[in-house]
């Protein structure tokens, strides 16, 4: 290329678009190279905003999403000043996990996870996903046309089980599948309808498929929808009772696990990853702090009292949030304050009930002792009547039995004294 051609190229780059049309075919290679360089720059430096909201995160949890060189961030969560993230490698493939501790001054971690406190480690998906078994699982392929919801495993929730532990993540998924298969054979209108599982080409279960609902009860109430709270409570009660009739304890009843069909105003119990069989040891995953009692209160085993306790908490929460008729300008109590107040009321009620039972027990013991004394007196009267003696005169048998040997000893002493007197006179 001559100097004149280079000058012409620079002039074309500064020309308006409509003037470049005639000379574009001469400079096509130059534009292609420039576009490719811009693409590489954007791939390594451009930060992308989050495209999905992390619904499973708490109020202290924050989702972040951006692209880093060679590895694409799939999901991340910031909780308790620790950033946990999963990545997909563009070169090595597979899913990777890394975490780092955040300081107050840093709002974002290093873009290269290799410099994090815990650098990326490849996740063994055989630990996360169970193997599909046609004899034990129902197969259903995901389709948007069927109005289905695919529940996939939240890997970041079980980050401590990814690389060792007493249990594997797929054990939690497998237990939920077994529970859902029981519910599928015994459906109920107030229990979330389970369709089956979906799996990949390696026959690993990728998700559990359920009927899709409009919202959960927590979002439904916080969005200030009006609804019949009495019907809501009855629907939830019937759903819990149906599970109990099958020998299942949900172990995690709370507003976010109650699903709502807004059109039909129907409320169903969902999310069965904490469900245990009755009297089974509480292990792996169960309960939510504040909504369920502590394991010590249940002797470490699944019982129906766990669901009944959570159900009482749920009713208190609904009452505190407006009882289905929220006011636009009203400010309601926080959930944790509602649970603390409800717990205190339940403890007071249990204390009163315990005191009432103790009083009843004392009254019963007093009445029993009085009846015992009366029965003894009656038995004595019957005995005296049958002995044909006046009531003031006691039986001879008792006199003989109770008589002291003192009179006999006095008579013996008197006789012995007379003998001594005779001996003295004789002498």
Looking at residue 288, its pLDDT comes to 87
CA-wise closest residue to 270 among 338, 185, 204, 209: 209
Decide if 117 contacts 99 (C-beta within 8 A): yes
As to burial, measured by CB atoms within 10 angstroms (0-12 exposed, 13-18 middle, 19+ buried), residue 4 is exposed
Separation CA 30–CA 327 (nearest Å)? 64
Tokens of 348: 């007071």
Looking at residue 160, its pLDDT comes to 83
Under DSSP, is residue 73 helix (H, G, I), strand (E, B) or coil? strand
CA 317-318-321 angle, to 5 degrees, is 85
Looking at residue 61, its pLDDT comes to 41
Helix residue spans in 137-290 (DSSP H): 169-185, 217-222, 229-245
Residues in the chain where the model's pLDDT stays below 70: 1-69, 105-106, 143-145, 296, 328-330, 352, 354-355, 357-358, 360-377, 379-380, 382-427
Tokens of 180: 């859902």
Looking at residue 169, its pLDDT comes to 87
Separation CA 250–CA 258 (nearest Å)? 12
Residue 291, C-beta contacts closer than 8 angstroms, at least 6 positions apart: 252, 253, 254, 310, 313, 314, 339
CA 75, chain centre distance (Å): 23
Looking at residue 63, its pLDDT comes to 42
CB atoms within 10 A of CB 11: 12
Looking at residue 173, its pLDDT comes to 92
Separation CA 83–CA 116 (nearest Å)? 10
Q: Which residues of 388-398 are buried (b: 16+ CB within 10 A; e: fewer)?
A: eeeeeeeeeee
Helix residue spans in 132-228 (DSSP H): 169-185, 217-222
Beta strands in 43-110 (DSSP E): 71-79, 82-89, 95-101
Tokens of 65: 């999403």
Residue 112, C-beta contacts closer than 8 angstroms, at least 6 positions apart: 68, 69
CA 112-113-118 angle, to 5 degrees, is 150
Looking at residue 59, its pLDDT comes to 37
Looking at residue 331, its pLDDT comes to 76
Looking at residue 92, its pLDDT comes to 82
Under DSSP, is residue 387 helix (H, G, I), strand (E, B) or coil? coil
Looking at residue 235, its pLDDT comes to 95
As to burial, measured by CB atoms within 10 angstroms (0-12 exposed, 13-18 middle, 19+ buried), residue 351 is exposed
Is the domain covering 166-343 a CATH 1.10.510.10 domain? yes
């Amino acid at each position: 290329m001559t100097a004149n051609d280079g000058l012409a190229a620079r002039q074309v780059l500064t020309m308006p678009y409509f003037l470049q049309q005639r000379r574009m075919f001469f400079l096509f290679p130059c534009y292609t190279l420039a576009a490719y360089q811009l693409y590489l720059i954007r791939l390594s430096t451009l930060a992308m905003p989050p495209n999905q909201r992390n619904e499973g995160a708490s109020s202290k949890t924050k989702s972040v999403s951006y692209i880093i060189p060679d590895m694409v961030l799939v999901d991340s969560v910031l909780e308790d000043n620790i950033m946990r993230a999963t990545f997909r490698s563009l070169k090595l493939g597979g899913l990777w996990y890394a975490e780092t501790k955040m300081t107050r001054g840093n709002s974002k971690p290093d873009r290269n996870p290799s410099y994090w406190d815990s650098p990326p480690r490849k996740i063994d998906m055989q630990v996360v996903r169970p193997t599909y078994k046609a004899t034990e699982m129902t197969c259903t392929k995901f389709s948007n046309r069927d109005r289905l919801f695919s529940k996939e495993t939240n890997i970041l929730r079980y980050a401590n089980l990814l690389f060792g532990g007493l249990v594997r993540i797929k054990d939690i998924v497998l237990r939920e599948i077994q529970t859902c298969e029981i519910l599928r054979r015994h459906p109920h209108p107030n229990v979330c309808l389970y369709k089956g599982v979906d799996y990949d080409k390696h026959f690993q279960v990728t998700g559990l498929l359920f009927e899709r609902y409009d919202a959960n009860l927590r979002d439904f109430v916080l969005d200030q929808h009006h609804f019949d709270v009495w019907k809501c409570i009855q629907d939830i009660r019937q759903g819990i009772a149906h599970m109990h009739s099958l020998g299942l304890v949900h172990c995690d009843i709370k507003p976010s696990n109650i699903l709502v069909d807004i059109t039909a105003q129907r409320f169903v119990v969902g999310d069965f990853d904490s469900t245990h069989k009755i009297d089974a040891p509480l292990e792996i995953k169960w309960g939510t702090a504040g909504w369920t009692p502590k394991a010590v209160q249940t002797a470490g085993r699944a019982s129906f009292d766990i669901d009944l306790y959570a159900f009482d908490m749920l009713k208190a929460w609904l009452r505190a949030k407006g009882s289905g008729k929220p006011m636009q300008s009203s400010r309601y109590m926080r959930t944790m304050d509602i649970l603390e107040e409800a717990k205190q009321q339940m403890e007071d009620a249990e204390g009163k009930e315990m005191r009432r039972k103790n009083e009843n027990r004392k009254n019963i013991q007093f009445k029993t002792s009085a009846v015992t004394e009366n029965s003894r007196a009656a038995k004595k009267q019957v005995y005296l009547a049958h002995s044909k003696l006046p009531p003031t005169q006691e039986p001879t048998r008792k006199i003989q039995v109770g008589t002291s040997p003192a009179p006999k000893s006095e008579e013996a002493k008197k006789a012995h004294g007379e003998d001594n007197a005779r001996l003295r006179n004789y002498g």
